[in-house]
Amino acid sequence: MDKRTDIIAGAAGAFEAEGFRGVGIDRVLAPSGASTRTLYKHFGSKDGLILAVLEERHRGFAERLDAAAAGADPVAALFDTLKEWLEEHGARGCMLLRARAEYAGANEEIVGLVRCQKSEFRRMIEARTEAALGRADGRLATRIWLLFEGATAAASVADLSVIDEARDAAVSLVDEARKNAR
């Protein structure tokens, strides 16, 4: 890995464990061994690093989701991928939404990035719902999106079995929509 990638990876772990605004820059940089000078060279500021971490997190999940989609039920794969992701990264709720909550009113660039990422993710769910159903159904996509986001949050206070329950509910919704279309 290059230094920029090392810093992002180390910072992601620190932000995941300790939040964004409350964690000091020395703690954020410790895993990569980078100096504050290197941070400013690559990211301009701590907020610039946060933007890079959020972009990488979103990209990484989207890539994992795309890789899991081949040959799988496109809606069930959402939840299967989520469960694998949370097993790997820990179930602390959505990092993107936590960043948005911490920076609401303090940094519109971070809030705006999260808004864009969540909109993009919602479109991914719409595409998967359409692939599973054979037609667009915005209402169904919204329900599946809510199940996904809710399961992500619930897993942080329960256990990962809530992901399986959300998966089953989403698959049932798709099956019911198929039956109603006949």
- Three-class secondary structure of residue 173 per DSSP: helix
Taking CA 109 as the corner, what is the angle to CA 90 and CA 32, rounded to the nearest 5 degrees? 45
Q: Flag whether pLDDT at 172 surpasses 90.
A: yes
Domain tally for the chain?
A: 1
> In this prediction, what percent of the chain has a pLDDT beyond 70?
97
Looking at residue 55, which CATH number applies to its domain?
Answer: 1.10.357.10
Task: With a cut of 70, say whether residue 38 has pLDDT above it.
Answer: yes
Q: Which two tokens stand for residue 62?
A: 């989207």
Q: Give the confidence band of 67 by pLDDT, cuts at 50, 70, 90.
A: confident
Which one has a higher pLDDT value, 180 or 122? 122
The residue segments making up the domain with residue 78 are: 3-181
Q: Return the number of other C-beta atoms located less than 10 Å from residue 172's C-beta.
A: 10
What mean pLDDT is reported for the chain? Answer: 94
> Residue 70: what pLDDT?
64
| pTM, entire model | 0.92
Per-residue pLDDT band for 62 (boundaries 50, 70, 90) equals very high
Residue 1 scores a pLDDT above 70: no
Q: Are 83 and 138 in contact (CB under 8 A)?
A: no
d(CA 144, CA 173): 8
User: What per-residue confidence (pLDDT) applies to 99?
Assistant: 97
Query: Percent of the chain scored above 90 by pLDDT?
Result: 91
